[in-house]
Every structure is written in C-alpha cells, then in structure tokens.
Amino acid sequence: MSSVILVTGASSGLGRAATERLARAGHVVWAGMRGVSGRNAAAAGELQALALAEDLRLRVVELDVVSDTSVDAAVAHVLAADGRIDVLLNNAGRMFVGLVESFSADQLLEQLNTNLVGSFRVTKAVLPSMRASRSGLLLHVSSVFGRIGSPLYGIYQASKWGMEGLYSTLAAEVHLLGIDSVIVEPGPFRTNVAAGGVTPADHHLVGEYGAAGAVANGWAAGFAGFMAQPIPDLDPSVFADAVLALVQAAPGARPARQVVGLSFGVDQLNALAAPFERGMLEAQQLGFLMAPRDAS
C-alpha cells in the first residue's frame, strides 16, 4: 500500500535523494522546499519533469520551515489534496561550521530556528491529522553529530542534540496513539549541506586559537578531500534506501534511532544507551507508554 509522504528540504542533497527513491517505490511524495518559484525553481522544475517522465505521484509544495505561515499552508495543501499525511520526513537543515566563540548569538538562533525549531513546526502541523487517524510515521533527520561531539561543529551539534532530546521524548508520547517517531542519524554524505552555512560573525578569532584556529581555516579543503574518497557509504542513495526501508517497515517495529552510512560507532553507543533510557522510563513508572500497542 502506498503512503502519502511529506519531505522537507527536498530540493537537494539527502531530501532530494529520498524524494526520488520514495516516489519510484510507488508512494505519493510531496517535495517540500522554499522558493519554489525563486531560488529553487530549477529543482522544482526537475522534480516535476521527473514525475511526468516516469509517471510518478510526485508533487512540489512551497514549504519554508522557518515560517509558521508557510508550514501551516503546506500541510493544509497536502491534506486538502490527499486527505492524509502518513509519513513526515523532517529533513530540512543547514550546517554552520566554525569555532563556537566565532559565531554570534543571532547566528546560533538562526541555526536552531532551521534545524530544531523548524522541524518542530512541521511536526506540530502534521500531528493533528496523524492523531485523528491513530497512525503515522515521523522521521527526524538528526546526525551522528547529534550523539557525539566534534570540534568546529558545536553550533550545528547544538541543533541536532536538541532534536535528539525533543524527539526521543515525543516518541514515547505518541507511541500509544499509533504513531511511530524515529530519529535518523546519518553520517557524512556527498551533499551540499555545508553550502547552507554562514561565515561566523567573528571569524577573525581563529587567529587567537592556535592549532584549533588553523583547523578551522583548513576545514573546507579537508572536508572536500574526505568527501572525494571512494567510500560507498558517502553516496546519498544509501540514505534514500534506509528511509524507504523505514517507511515500509511494520508499524510499532521500527527502531527508536537508525544510524545511516558511516556510523563512527554511534550505532554501538545507541545500543549501550538503550537500556539506560528504558530504565529512566521505568524509574518514572512510565514504561507503559512504550508497551506493545495491542496491550494498551
């Protein structure tokens, strides 16, 4: 059975790869992106041409995750057209890279507004229809950097660690309503995510940081070199295939977290942390919230 799927940040990168893979698998896919008639007009046109050429149920919808009005309008449009949203792929995001001190408070807010608050806006908009149908799947694209720390990614990681806390909590709150909520933790992939970053407001501070400053100055070249390696797990198709597998998995049997691509050991970390997270629920006498649904 096909699902109605809304993908945010579908114009390029992981969102674009997942959008095409899901549509080719027979699902109804709404490719959400900002600037459909502006900055992303070319991407929107390519997806519309693909839908026509391959007879796919793939549509484009204007959706800017930093705008309540845009998010609400997009979700209302999809619901009016198809009557439901079975799956949300919360993928839209930006990556700010640099020394923590070199960013301004406003830039931190900008990073959080896209990755953390933006994903929350879309989740909040789709949940009423999922609650009404007592079914649905929420896929939140975090990162392996949402579980482990690394220099230069602190601002970005603040947004992804926030997503981890927010959506691990949400999973327990919606489970007995028939809704699965999964945190997807991709490793690095060959995408243009870094192009969505900003120059730190106080970039000149790299000169005060010695070796760490030198690393910051050389980051772009080092990152490009890493991505040029012939590593199969850097191909966005790996992410797209993993998303499709989660969509097609049995409701209630999906994992709390799914690492995709290069894991850097995060899959092992998740396995080690799971009993402690379950123990926290049990200690608060809340374990029943994650009980099998047929026992609820």
2 is catalytic: no
- Specify whether the CB–CB gap between 96 and 107 falls below 8 A: yes
- Tell me 286's DSSP state: -
User: Could you say which of 70, 142, 143, 181 is catalytic?
Assistant: 142
Is 11 considered catalytic here?
Answer: yes
Please confirm, yes or no, whether 12 is among the known catalytic residues. no
d(CA 204, CA 213): 9
d(CA 82, CA 118): 23
How far apart are the C-alpha atoms of 58 and 24, rounded to whole Å? Answer: 9
124 is catalytic: no
**Nearest-CA neighbor of 260 among 173, 177, 184?**
184
On whether the CB atoms of residues 242 and 17 are closer than 8 A, the answer is no
Q: Residues 102, 156, 159, 167: which is the catalytic one?
A: 156
User: What is the rounded distance in angstroms from the CA atom of residue 139 to the CA atom of residue 88?
Assistant: 6
Which residues are known to be catalytic? 11, 142, 156, 160
